[in-house]
Structure 1
């Protein structure tokens, strides 16, 4: 408010100064005209009489005064025209400055500063017609990935086209603003009893933005998550700032529940968002205080019944929440940009633990799709292995099928780099629908891992049995060994034994344990190279809760 108020004061002062100059100039011209009228008649008549030879010429003093009057009139008029030109230029500059201050230079929409007052005015106008106002907050999903992979020019193209499509779908009396980097706000009046009108509009906007955008030879795709609220929410008249806050909360709720959809604001969402904020703060603090530890889940050779290795799973030992499973904190760590730091720290701890195990035991680590966007990922993993003096042949990276849907070229390069260093790479959660057979054949995977959702439902489920049997046959045909996760009871195990020889893991063989307990059990099995050393534990950005 300070800068705005000061700016208006300067404008008013400039206008007052200009008006004073205008009045002074006009006053001078007027006085000169009056003097010209009072003296001009006499001087001119005597001048004419003198020229025609019928009288004496004018006196010197009145003649001089007349000439000065004429000069003042000419000067004053030219000065007045100059001042008017200055006023027009200044008003044009002020209008341009207001336009720049109130609109987004990239898309031409209103900006965050101007949407608030415009919304408040629209609410007041709608109230006179018995209407209320809907506030929609729209956020482009995965926009940062478009910028990172294809560059800012592609991102700008996507923003401009999205803004154009949104504007085209809005009614004529609606407002559209770009709130932030990839956030837009729409405001429109509607009849209080017809929220379905807003629902239909939200669906139209989602469908419109989801259409591919062409940029050079690229086809850019994005979706939007939308949060919606209304000016009479919670039983009272809400201000623009309050509406923006509520719509933002509802938009985040839409992102959390799958994206590419919309939700109306509900008060419970605010509590959920507050908890989310506390989790973000806790995760950052936990990284600083070393609260994330690796746990280990056994992997068994189904044919021999022998322990062949472990998968590392992440746990958060929070001082306020207790032991937290990764399905809660890993997605948040990905969104706030700390997943690489978290995962790499856990891998370092896990390698220290695994270095004491028998050399035949392997360590597998699940990697977040976010980490595979880093072209230096393979080099970072190799550096961690060298620092820990851990053999690459005992280390296995697990990547999910969703990674193949993002940037297949970069993923292929990273997988090749990892394998060139002797690290094995497996395709995790196979069967969830992202990869194709051609991708599976073209990428140099060492192993397929069947998603637990097909395994836990095996007993009595013919569809799941068919899927597992088909994947087993596919693995055999491609020469890829298979790991099956989610083996939780004997009934599932008996089903699996019909389909082939697998490496299996699950609660049937024990829940994931921290490093010290794992080492103690390995010591009883004579599978330690040295006495147990207390360590901490776990891993990866694996999005599954084990135990």
Structure 2
């Protein structure tokens, strides 16, 4: 397969203008005049020279010999001048051709570039539409190397360049005839493949072959690297009617399909579907909404009750973030937290909500705790402990009333850093819970190695408790582990009285779930606590009243 810039050969053959060698009248006039004079002088000089050689006569007149020599010099000068001009023109044409080639090709991989692939796509689509074969079509295949930045960062840009060149060579080898390969920029490539729409599977085979060949390791810098690709495919048969720019539309469609493949696991390919555009638009709106919502303070803390399931006594609340979006309404965290983590703004979002929760909770009864979830992304930050302590200081919130919950996933990443952060917070009085226990990451060794104060059973176990004896056995085992390691246990997801009663038969737990009430706003919690005289001001008043009674009795 050979690709070239569209129309490059034709343009290179066209004269840029009348060649300078053809327009140099002076040089051509000198040569012509010198030749004419040379012929005339030679006719006069040569006979005299021949007679002189034969011993007759005195030879040609000196002025005629001088004129002949001058004519000869002029012919040589004019010829050299002409040759120089011809060489200059050829050199200029080569430079112009090279510049034109560079303008339409990628200098690293030798493929077409973004500028040249557009006209080529439009040309091939027009040919397919004008073809007598009604089944002719064009497939636009977008390729993106997975985790290319990480490869560059870990191995250097030279290794990254080698990877790009290698990938381009491998892709060329599997593309059908008449296909075009272009590097769009960075680690993005595009293939344009003419095909018969009755044989869509042919494009599937090409896409699979591209992914398979990319997966083969290649040598670089004394070692080996491997890569994977996310691939998106769009075809000209799916273009809207009267499309003015097929190239731009196919690029847009293939790009969305490639993003869909990347989002769904990478190392795969997906065909474009119209639904993808709506999904992508919704995703973009969600991302923009999250970024704007953080700046406008739209993320708010809600509070779910935590109770002693044996006595039903309220022991505290777990803070749950909610997004009060002006366009989407109240959005649950499972919708926005993964997106915020991908955007890299989860720390800002979380800290703003935690700060508000600390200010809300400082007015509660001092015996009520506040539990907050910490994202695994935050636990990768070596300064997280200091930032959390700063938030508590700003809110004037006592550390011993705060409980942070970290998931088992954190233990599978950098347990050394997690241990350092947990130890720093515990030294200040903060308690630490291992959330979602039972998912599968944590081990007994890690529970012993890290100074946890509590473990929380994943709600998936609790929800199955009434339907499965095996689940009851698992929860009983977790309760035994907690008791043996002096770690109290909290059960999440208690939705019914039956679940609560089942837990009561197994052991001693703190519990939370809709059975005890849905998450409430700060104002709703304040109203509830005020009705129960469990705000800090009410507790202080009650203590003052008791002191007054004691003094009255003693008096």
Structure 2 regions of 5+ residues with no counterpart? 1-11, 540-555
Rounded to whole Å, the distance in 1 between the matches of 2:35 and 2:387 is: 87
2:298 corresponds in structure 1 to: 291
Deviation at 1:62, TM superposition (A): 4.7
Deviation at 1:243, TM superposition (A): 0.6
Structure 1 regions of 5+ residues with no counterpart? 1-10, 533-547
Rounded to whole Å, the distance in 2 between the matches of 1:212 and 1:278 is: 39
| Residue 51 to residue 174, structure 1, CA distance change in 2 (3 Å) | same
Rounded to whole Å, the distance in 1 between the matches of 2:17 and 2:345 is: 56
Say if 2:239 and 2:250, in contact at 8 Å, map to a contact too.
no
Query: Are residues 1:27 and 2:28 paired?
Result: yes
Rounded to whole Å, the distance in 2 between the matches of 1:433 and 1:339 is: 24
| Residue 100 to residue 59, structure 1, CA distance change in 2 (3 Å) | same
2:406 corresponds in structure 1 to: 399
1:240 corresponds in structure 2 to: 247
Rounded to whole Å, the distance in 2 between the matches of 1:394 and 1:155 is: 50
Q: SS of the residue aligned with 1:16?
A: coil
| Residue 375 to residue 277, structure 1, CA distance change in 2 (3 Å) | same
| Residue 180 to residue 494, structure 1, CA distance change in 2 (3 Å) | farther
CA deviation digits over 1:237-281, x for unaligned, max 9?
861210111122223334444555443222233233223333333
Query: Are residues 1:340 and 2:351 paired?
Result: no
Q: How many residues align?
A: 522
CA deviation digits over 1:364-417, x for unaligned, max 9?
332334444444433333332333233333333333344455555655554455
1:134 corresponds in structure 2 to: 139
Query: Are residues 1:490 and 2:497 paired?
Result: yes
Deviation at 1:487, TM superposition (A): 1.8
Query: Are residues 1:195 and 2:197 paired?
Result: no
Query: Are residues 1:185 and 2:186 paired?
Result: no
| Residues 82-91 or 242-251, more deviating | 82-91
1:210-359 to structure 2, matched below 5 A, reads 224-234=229-239, 239-359=246-366
Q: SS of the residue aligned with 1:179?
A: strand
Deviation at 1:160, TM superposition (A): 6.1
Rounded to whole Å, the distance in 2 between the matches of 1:37 and 1:523 is: 124
Query: Are residues 1:72 and 2:74 paired?
Result: yes
Deviation at 1:230, TM superposition (A): 0.7
RMSD of aligned residue pairs (Cα, Å): 4.1
Query: Are residues 1:507 and 2:514 paired?
Result: yes
| Residue 272 to residue 50, structure 1, CA distance change in 2 (3 Å) | same
Say if 2:231 and 2:261, in contact at 8 Å, map to a contact too.
yes
Q: SS of the residue aligned with 1:360?
A: coil
Deviation at 1:134, TM superposition (A): 1.9
| Residues 47-56 or 483-492, more deviating | 47-56
CA deviation digits over 1:334-369, x for unaligned, max 9?
333333322222122112112222333333332334
Superposition TM-score, scaled by structure 2 size: 0.78
Say if 1:448 and 1:483, in contact at 8 Å, map to a contact too.
yes
Rounded to whole Å, the distance in 2 between the matches of 1:531 and 1:160 is: 72
Deviation at 1:299, TM superposition (A): 2.3
1:16 corresponds in structure 2 to: 17
| Residue 20 to residue 214, structure 1, CA distance change in 2 (3 Å) | closer
Structure ID, larger Rg: 2
Say if 1:107 and 1:163, in contact at 8 Å, map to a contact too.
yes
Rounded to whole Å, the distance in 2 between the matches of 1:219 and 1:412 is: 34
Rounded to whole Å, the distance in 1 between the matches of 2:145 and 2:242 is: 29
Higher relative contact order (CA 8 A, sep 6+): 1
| Residues 147-156 or 380-389, more deviating | 147-156
CA deviation digits over 1:204-261, x for unaligned, max 9?
5556656788988999887544332111115758612101111222233344445554
Rounded to whole Å, the distance in 2 between the matches of 1:66 and 1:443 is: 107
| Residue 356 to residue 150, structure 1, CA distance change in 2 (3 Å) | farther
Deviation at 1:112, TM superposition (A): 2.8
Rounded to whole Å, the distance in 2 between the matches of 1:148 and 1:478 is: 43
1:426-441 to structure 2, matched below 5 A, reads 426-433=433-440
Deviation at 1:56, TM superposition (A): 4.5
